[in-house]
Amino acid sequence: MLTRLKALTRMVFGRARGVLGLFLPRSQINYAELVGDGLRSSVVMAPVLWIARTFPEAPIQIIQTTPDGEEENLAGHPLAQLLERPNPSFSGHVLWMATMLSWVINGNAYWVKIRNRLKQVVELWYVPHWLIEPVAPADGSAYIDHYDYRPALDLIRLEPEDVVHFRYGLDPHDIRKGLSPLTSVLREVFTDDEAAAMSAALLRNMGVPGLVISPDTDHELTDDDVKEVKEYMSRQFAGDQRGTPLVARNRTKVEQFGFSPEQLNLRALRQVPEERVSAVLGIPAIVTGFGAGLARSTFANYEESRAAAYEGNIIPSQRIIAAELKHQLLVDFEPDVRALRVGFDLRGVRVLQEDMNALADRANRMVQGGWITVGEGRRLVGMASDASHEVYLRGANVIEVPVRPAEAAPLLTAGRRNGHGAKADGLDLTYGSAEHERRWKAAMARTEPHEVRVAEAVRGLFATQEAEVLGRLRKGRKDAADTRRTPFDRTAWDRRIADALTPHLAAALEDGATATLDDLAVDAAFDLADPRAASWLRERTVRLAGEVNLTTEQAIREALAAGTEAGEGIPQLTRRVQDVFADASRNRARVIARTETLAASNAGTLEAARQSGVAETKTWYSSLDQRVRPSHAAAHGQVRRLDEDFEVGGSRGPAPGQIAAAGESIQCRCVMQIGTTPAAAGAPLLAARRTNGHTAIPAGS
């Protein structure tokens, strides 16, 4: 009975077509069975091994797209670190080599994820493609129900989320698997194998082709005569005796049986498979050393061919692999991957450096021509930049002539409405305006280098602390109990973390202060030793160290308590502690760095305003990324006197990152702008309000 559906409300998946895809057109020979896995075929392994050696040359990157459309490399991301050392037994390079071998030969490559007790991925293992198979439900209700993994006699069921499955496209005969590019050239591979086998057989016969020897008379040879002639010919005319004259007593006819190597032209015969295999893999034959390419090889076209091999094989493969890593593995490390992607850093690949040189020349011409800033030029070629690079270069002989006389722009304060949103002495302050975007980006460019350094320092402290805790734990059960009660010396570690982070936060504070004094056009150096600035820095680092150590101590106690209750030994308890610090290094370090760096920078802005002698007000500038809190977006444009608190999300505080409620300060990326226009005496400054979907400062404020 047929059922007609107007539309599918869910996908229904078909079954695999079995052996139908094993036969090539106009042939009933199963060349896949004859060729085997291809691992012992030189025409297959030459390009496959080139791919396997070359693919790991570009390291993995985890890249985040910022709200302004720029891309930021998340250096030290846990996934990148795991791919560098996926398990205790081999490196990431070996993992990639094995992966590419299976991916090209079979069209499918598999990794198995090993998780800790917190369900975090801590190891990755390559599994040969012949040991694992995707299994679909019989009713077609799911794409893949599970994977059958058979490492020995036992069958292990693996859930789809515990397997990374790289597919070379999709096999139309079984859409749950990829299709090897070599499938279409199996006949050519078989031809090459047979040519190699014939050459070997001929040489094994000492170079003598098959002969037919018969009497040129009606005389019939006996079996003994046949045996004697055969032995005589093999003994006298094979091996070192090749070319010896033959003298027969009777009339004898000697004919060659089959074809000689010259008649077969094995060299030309073997070039056809080489050309076909090179074509389907997108690798010029010259790169893999095939005879089909070496005949026309020169140094110049070899270099060009290597670049072509990258563009025809490696780079497209990296794009496919990166997309699968994002959706099959990055999701285990990040709750939201929409603004993230996985990429491969090609800047260190020597064969592609000519393109990088051309890019650098173009960037240099654009900077010298004044089209882009120095910072934009540096980012164009993948170099880091900060606020000091956001300048245009102009020759000394170039005079800039404005279209109309430029009016002096006063420093930013609250301004008037003129029908185009909020203005501040002629500057547009609306949320998302060009002025808002420019100033926020400048602040981010200034603070991000400090954020990276703070994160590195925190990770280093966690690593040292982990070694200390594990050293105590591994001494024995008594020490394990002591470690549970007191994982580490809190007093010593409070002092150690505060001392380690003080220089980094002081640098962020001083940078924020210097930028503010420059903005205010105050010709004076910021005094970091000022009692108010020094007090803020001391109190902030001491409080931070205490909070960090308290969180770590509680996590260790809970982990050891759970392990002790489960009756675990020292190795299992050790792994629990390692998991605590792995999470701290992966997640907490980044949160701490972002929160404290921005807080220190904003503290510097506020302290510089107080030291300037000309500042009167401070304005809240909301961050422009996708993670901005609604309460912070609503606070955009809120103006206060220097000694007044902002009101954000029902809480109060002197600056972004310093709001009393922790939920309004953690990972806050908002900034401030200092103004010189005095506020009306006795009149509190008003918060911003929304106008046409943007935030506007009320008129007269």
Q: Check whether residue 554 and residue 534 sit in a common domain.
A: yes
Asked if residue 617 is part of any domain, the answer here is: yes
Instruction: Give 445-501 pLDDT, tens digit per residue.
Output: 889 999 999 999 999 999 999 988 888 887 654 555 667 788 888 899 999 999 999
Residue 54 has pLDDT above 90, yes or no: yes
Q: Give 605 or 676, the one with higher predicted confidence.
A: 605
* Overall domain count for the chain: 4
Long-range contacts of 401-410 (CB under 8 A, 24+ apart): 410/676, 410/677
Q: Could you say which of 367, 389, 411 is where a domain stops?
A: 389
Pair 176, 249 in one domain: no
Q: In this structure, is residue 413 part of a structural domain?
A: no
> Does a structural domain hold residue 18?
no
Structure tokens, 223: 């079996």
- Tell me what percent of the residues of the chain surpass a pLDDT of 90: 36
Mean pLDDT, residues 200-204: 62
Same domain for 156 and 248: no
CA angle 206, 212, 218 (to 5 degrees): 150
| Domain co-membership, 499 together with 574 | yes
Beta bridge partners of residue 214, listed in sequence order = 253
pLDDT for 496 equals 92
141 within some domain: yes
How high is the pLDDT of residue 193? 67
Residues 459 and 558 grouped into a single domain: yes
**Is 80 exceeded by the pLDDT of residue 239?**
no
The answer on 224 and 156 residing in a single domain is no
Domain contains 130: yes
Please write the tens of the pLDDT for every residue from 146-180: 999 999 888 999 999 999 999 999 999 899 999 99
Range of the domain at 379: 350-389
Among 240, 264, 288, where does a domain finish?
264
Q: What is the DSSP letter of 13?
A: P
- Both tokens of 367, joined, read 């900077």
CA distance 564 to 661: 36
Would 397 be classed as within a structural domain?
no
Residues 238, 205 contacting (CB under 8 angstroms): yes
Please indicate, yes or no, whether residues 572 and 609 belong to a single structural domain of this protein. Answer: yes
Q: Is 310 helix (H, G, I), strand (E, B) or coil?
A: helix
Is residue 605 domain-shared with residue 666, that is, in the same domain? yes
Together in a domain, 564 and 480: yes
| pLDDT of the residue at 3 | 46
Instruction: Tell me the three state secondary structure of residue 660.
Output: coil
Are 259 and 296 members of one domain? no
Q: How far apart are CA 208 and CA 258, in angstroms?
A: 12
Question: Is 669 in the same domain as 608?
Answer: yes
> Quick one: 232 and 334 in the same domain?
no
The residue from 202, 229, 264 where one domain ends is: 264
Q: Is 1 within the bounds of a domain?
A: no
| 400 located within any domain | no
Count other Cβ atoms within 10 Å, centred on residue 416.
14
Q: What is the pLDDT confidence band of residue 550, given thresholds at 50, 70 and 90?
A: very high
Place of tokens 């900060």: 386
Q: How confident is the model at residue 598 (pLDDT cuts 50, 70, 90)?
A: very high
